[in-house]
Chain A
Amino acid sequence: MSDATPPAVITAAEVTHLAGLARIALRPDEIEHLAGELTQIVDAVARVRRVATPDVPATSHPLPLVNVLRDDVVGAVLTPEQVLAGAPAAQDGRFRVPAILGEEQ
């Protein structure tokens, strides 16, 4: 590209932050590696942005479909046994999870 805009650089610190948000454990060498790869991806997206003119609408969905809806009619549910089939621990018909201190919804 002979564009004057320098490519955005994704830093190791940003990758570390994202990995924390996504709960993914990464080694330092993986962080370095991903920082390089993500920089390339961001740069590729930036090229598309340079080509797209203001009259090109943003695309979040590639299919020309809208309003795919369902009628409000009750259908099948899982049994409580099925719901809990994959639970590492259960109690009183519910999943039992470790307490998460300092957070509350």
Chain B
Amino acid sequence: MAAPNATDVLLDYDEALAKYEPVLGFEVHVELSTATKMFSAAPNPAAGDDPAAPNTAVAPVDMGLPGSLPVVNAEAVRYSISLGLALGCSIAESCRFARKNYFYPDLGKNYQISQYDEPIAFEGSVEVELEDGTLFQVPIERAHMEEDAGKLTHMGGATGRIHGADAALVDYNRAGVPLVEIVTKPIFGAEHLAPQLAKAYVATIRDIVRSLGISRARMERGNLRCDANVSLRPRGETRLGTRTETKNVNSLRSVERAVRYEIQRQAAILEAGGSIVQETRHWHEDTGTTSAGRPKSDADDYRYFPEPDLLPIRPSAELVQQLRAALPESPTQFRRRLQADYGFTDSEFRDILNANVLVELEETVGAGAAPAQARKWWLGEILRIANARGVEPGSLVSPLHVSELIALVETGELTDRLARQVLEGVVAGEGSPEHVVKARGLAVVSDDSALLAAIDQALGEQPDVLQKIRDGKVQAAGAVIGAVMKAMRGQADAARVRELVLERANA
């Protein structure tokens, strides 16, 4: 078993592209944000804000306890149909569930309820916009309903990961969470933009499910997970090359990097006359590499058969029509509309897209903030913290809290400097901006008597300042303002302090 290290030989990216055509494929799993699980009435942790304590959101069905029977969540079916429609898919007149049999402790019953030969949605297409504005159609094979599995934490071993682990701990909270798996057809023609297309595709799926309101879509929490299939074929070859499937790719940036890495790794093997092993590969965020997982084998013989405990689903034409009529605009339309509404330039708008904060920005404006202010915060302090931590800006703070923060600055309760401290508290999980202001005692001192006391104190220490101001050297006030701001620990409005100093001088 290969250890996760950088022993892979990589071919130069441009050289790889000159000799080989990359073909992509994606399997994206979306955890739906229904109140309950797919087949039980246990609360759905994927809908919540905070992770639940282990094994506290588990019903007998989720563990496959004898005598328990699954019942399909009607809302999950509606969400799945909406998603299928947003992906341009046909909705099955009738579909059924199937058992996918495998032995692994992430599911207690030794099978996962999924859909096999009759997915709820099939044959669609998604429009993806690349950074330069190019539109790319990604063909969709199918979108099917299934249940998520429990979470294993591997114990022991040198790395804490599975290689060398001697035991694993299992939490079944996630078992039974409603999932939709979206499978693309092979994607041709992305060429040197393949890594960028991969990122843009996953971002588009994220934007779609968020605009539908059917998933929290937090990649860092696993609400949205991407397996990226990459294969290469020599220029002019019509048959597909052997593909690898890279798992554990849980940020947009990683999707892009992982695809690029696989192209370079596979190209080097092919150039050396070797052949690609069809296998699962694991992405390692820290090293930016992939390593071999298990090869495809007997274990992939899942012995699918129709789930006898569940009856077929036949969505009525009325329901499908109703959900179709309620679809929001597409991500491309959404972007065009926002850019026009907010009056951002192309370059301003591209920065927003590159930082993946458009939806956050829209929600912040929706909560009452001015577009320019919302842009300033999301692309400024929030993005700075996100970059420093290597996470998505949207995972740090909610749009509602950002809009509250902006409102506090607008009303003069906070200066920009204080607001940044408040943001720090919100990001640290100390509560809403209002709450952090109170808890940390950060509000601007707007009580003039407190300011005047500090001003008089500073003037007493610098007695010549008043005369200088009276002589017309207004800039001399700066020294006093600085002393007052320091005395107030920054919690004063410098403009107001300046006004008061000048009033004192001219009194």
Contact = CB atoms under 8 A, between A and B. Distances in A.
B311 A74 contact: no
Contacts of B172: 83, 95
Q: Which secondary structure characterizes the binding site on chain B?
A: loop
B278 interface: no
Contact of B55 (A72, A83, A97): A83
Interface stretch (A3-11, A42-50, A58-66): A58-66
B312 A95 contact: no
Interface in B28-72: 34-36, 40-43, 53-60, 63, 71-72
7 contacts: A21-B298, A60-B306, A60-B308, A72-B36, A74-B43, A92-B169, A99-B166
A68 B58 contact: no
A72 B167 contact: no
A67 interface: yes
B171 A94 contact: yes
B32 to A, nearest CB: 10
Interface in A54-105: 60-61, 63, 65-80, 83-84, 91-105
Interface of B: 1, 34-36, 40-43, 53-60, 63, 71-77, 94, 96, 101, 103-106, 149, 152-157, 162-163, 165-172, 247, 280, 282, 293-294, 298-299, 301, 303, 306, 308, 310-314
Nearest to A18: B303
Contacts of A91: 155, 169
Contact of A75 (B42, B53, B152, B156): B42
B41 A17 contact: no
Chain A: interface residue count, which band? 35 or more
Q: Which secondary structure characterizes the binding site on chain A?
A: loop
Given A77-B59, A94-B170, A102 B1 contact: yes
Nearest to A70: B71
A100 B162 CA distance: 8
B74 A69 contact: yes
A83 to B, nearest CB: 4
B104 A103 contact: yes
Contact of B104 (A22, A78, A79, A105): A105
Contacts of A96: 155, 167-170
B105 A95 contact: yes
A27 interface: no
A67 B103 contact: no
B58 A78 contact: yes
B167 A78 contact: no
A94 B151 CA distance: 10
